[in-house]
Amino acid sequence: MPELPEVEVTGQGIRPLIVGKQVTQVIVRQPQLRWPVVPETLQMQGQTVISVERRAKYLMLNTAVGTLILHLGMSGSLRVLEQPSEAGKHDHLDLVFEDGSVLRLNDPRRFGAAIWWTDPVDSHPLIASLGPEPLTSAFNADYLAEKLKGKKKAIKLALMDNHVVVGVGNIYANEALFCAGIDPRSPCGAVNQERLANLVDEVKTVLARAITQGGTTLKDFSKADGKPGYFAQELLVYGRGGEACPVCQQTLSEVKLGQRATVFCDRCQK
């Protein structure tokens, strides 16, 4: 599933190619996505994209009268076609611009979403209850300590809870907890503020590094094959259960937490 860095880089990739352009046609080939594409989405026609923003794993295409919220789901991708090719089986939504270019949503598993919203976007049910962005000052040790105070939930599951902080998916939760030396199974309330401060710093570092790497490794968003993929990065623990810890060489353990693969070092993480 695309995680926050992948979505951020997708936004960065399409932004210079569509901002300032007027949408002349909205083509919905398959309305049955994660949530049905509502007829109001056609109101995007005739509007000019004034900005592209990201909130959590949602991309928001803002116009003067409303916002189109896009979610890539588990297998979705966006690309801008300067000379559009014939739509394929999984090309579900096109925004056609005045210069003939097209923003195309491709989603083989149809777990993505495209929702037109006309009120302030922060009040949308998908957005209103989200926690702070991890790369902002709102996500800090004081906030995290207060949010997790007295809770018995595993720290990794709390880190992946979008009501606590958005966008820290499974890959980056594994990585940040390893870098912070915290056992992912630890109850939230058992992690003191000093260690939470270190965890906050590592979350920011891991995500920022992934975004930077993504900016140089993803394919060109203006080409027909410009589907974003996972970053070519050297992950320290994720996906490496049973291998040697990169720090102490002890075999990395792997368990399931919240039905998600969780890899950690029994020696380095306490």
- What are the domain boundaries of the chain? 4-128, 141-264
Token readout for 184 is 């992912």
pLDDT of amino acid 1: 62
267 annotated ligand-binding residue = no
pLDDT of amino acid 229: 47
Q: Which of 74, 123, 120, 101 is nearest to 223 (CA)?
A: 101
- Along the 270 residues of the chain, how does pLDDT read in single tens digits? 678 988 898 999 899 999 999 999 999 999 888 888 888 888 999 999 999 999 999 999 999 999 999 998 888 889 899 888 889 899 999 999 999 999 999 888 888 888 888 888 889 999 999 999 999 999 999 999 999 999 999 999 999 999 999 999 999 999 999 999 999 999 999 999 999 999 999 999 999 998 888 755 555 555 444 554 455 567 899 999 999 999 999 999 999 999 999 999 999 999
CATH superfamily of 4-128: MutM-like, N-terminal (3.20.190.10)
Active site includes 260?
yes
Q: Is 150 left (phi over 0), alpha (psi -120 to 50) or beta?
A: left
110 annotated ligand-binding residue = no
- Side-chain-facing half-sphere of 206: CA atoms under 13 Å: 28
Looking at domain 141-264, its CATH architecture is Orthogonal Bundle (1.10)
Active site includes 146?
no
Active site includes 133?
no
| 1 burial type by CB count under 10 A (0-12 exposed, 13-18 middle, 19+ buried) | middle
Q: Are 60 and 68 in contact (CB under 8 A)?
A: yes
Q: What is the amino acid identity at position 226?
A: G
Cα angle 111, 11, 72 (rounded to 5 degrees) comes to 5
Token readout for 167 is 């966008």
Catalytic residue chosen out of the listed positions 3, 6, 8, 202: 3
Catalytic residue chosen out of the listed positions 54, 55, 57, 156: 57
Which residue bears the tokens 């998916």? 169
Active site includes 175?
no
pLDDT of amino acid 266: 97
Return the exposure string of 84-101: e unless at least 16 CB atoms fall within 10 Å of the residue's CB, then b. Answer: eeebeebbbbbbbbeeeb
Segment (H or E) for 28: strand 23-28
Token readout for 119 is 């009120």
151 annotated ligand-binding residue = yes
Q: Are 31 and 74 in contact (CB under 8 A)?
A: no
What is d(CA 95, CA 145) in angstroms, rounded to the nearest whole number? 43
Q: Tell me if the pTM is above 0.85.
A: yes
Helix 4-18, helix 193-217: angle, nearest 10? 40
Segment (H or E) for 263: strand 260-264
pLDDT of amino acid 120: 86
Alpha-helical (H) ranges within 60-191 are: 125-128, 141-148, 155-159, 170-180
